[in-house]
């Protein structure tokens, strides 16, 4: 019983550290994150964080992985709702907007990574990201990207995700149309043309 209680406390402590770090990354970026900041936010000692994660770089990787896992789970669960029954690229993009709206901190962590993927040179998160999203991509694209390589899928996802971030951030003041209508207008006028251009690029 005592051992199980200690395990639960350790798990809760780790979750609190990661959640606090994710909020800080969302607000200030990966480059500005420090272990001392995380310690204050999570009410944890610096040595305790180091004992759990080794160093700041490892903690940042855990935060990004947690955010990617959250995105994959969100997309997987939501993709079967009637709202997205047509399984078009527009529906896929609308799901990215929804994730940015409902999971703002983790969504921001992913967006910051996509702006500067070289932050994690030691680990290939591009491949990991595409691997997580492949089943969802295949479910939506109906052939559009099914035969594309990792590079094309990453670049196309990067564009779709960043445009979803931008839309979600500006949503409150961008339009007086209904949410569904404004989503469709924004996608067809701004997102789709650029995506088509990206897919025509000679990327190997």
In this predicted model, what pLDDT tens digit does every residue of 62-87 receive, in sequence order?
999 999 999 989 988 877 665 655 66
Residue 204 in domain: no
Residue 154 contacts by C-beta under 8 Å, 6 or more apart in sequence?
126, 129, 130
Residue 82 within a domain: yes
pLDDT tens digits, residue range 41-53?
A: 999 999 999 999 9
Domain count within the chain: 1
In a domain? residue 191: yes
The C-alpha angle 16, 76, 183, rounded to 5 degrees, equals 100
Share of the chain above pLDDT 90, in %: 49
81 within a domain of the structure (yes/no): yes
At residue 147 the predicted structure's pLDDT band, cuts being 50, 70 and 90, is low
Q: Is the pLDDT of residue 171 over 90?
A: no
Q: Determine contact, residues 100/168, Cβ cutoff 8 Å.
A: yes
Range of the domain at 46: 2-199
pLDDT at 4 over 70: no
Can you give the pLDDT at residue 9? Answer: 47
What's the count of helices (H) and strands (E) in the chain, helices before strands?
A: 10, 0
Residue 123 is given by DSSP the state S
What pLDDT was estimated at residue 173?
Answer: 54
Residue 75 lies in a domain: yes
Residue 67 belongs to domain with CATH number:
1.10.357.10
């Amino acid at each position: 019983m005592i051992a199980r209680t200690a395990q639960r406390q350790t798990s809760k402590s780790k979750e609190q550290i990661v959640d606090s770090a994710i909020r800080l990354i969302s607000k200030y970026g990966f480059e500005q994150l420090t272990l001392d900041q995380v310690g204050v936010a999570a009410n944890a000692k610096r040595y305790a964080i180091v004992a759990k994660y080794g160093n700041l770089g490892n903690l940042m990787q855990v935060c990004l992985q947690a955010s990617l896992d959250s995105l994959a789970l969100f997309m997987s669960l939501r993709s079967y709702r009637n709202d997205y029954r047509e399984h078009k690229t527009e529906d896929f993009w609308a799901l990215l907007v929804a994730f940015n709206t409902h999971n703002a901190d983790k969504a921001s962590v992913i967006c910051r990574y996509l702006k500067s993927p070289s932050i994690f040179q030691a680990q290939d998160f591009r491949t990991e990201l595409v691997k997580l999203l492949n089943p969802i991509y295949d479910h939506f694209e109906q052939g559009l990207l099914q035969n594309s390589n990792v590079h094309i899928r990453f670049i196309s996802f990067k564009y779709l995700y960043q445009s979803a971030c931008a839309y979600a951030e500006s949503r409150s003041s961008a339009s007086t149309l209904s949410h569904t209508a404004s989503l469709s207008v924004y996608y067809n006028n701004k997102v789709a043309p650029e995506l088509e251009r990206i897919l025509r690029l000679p990327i190997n």
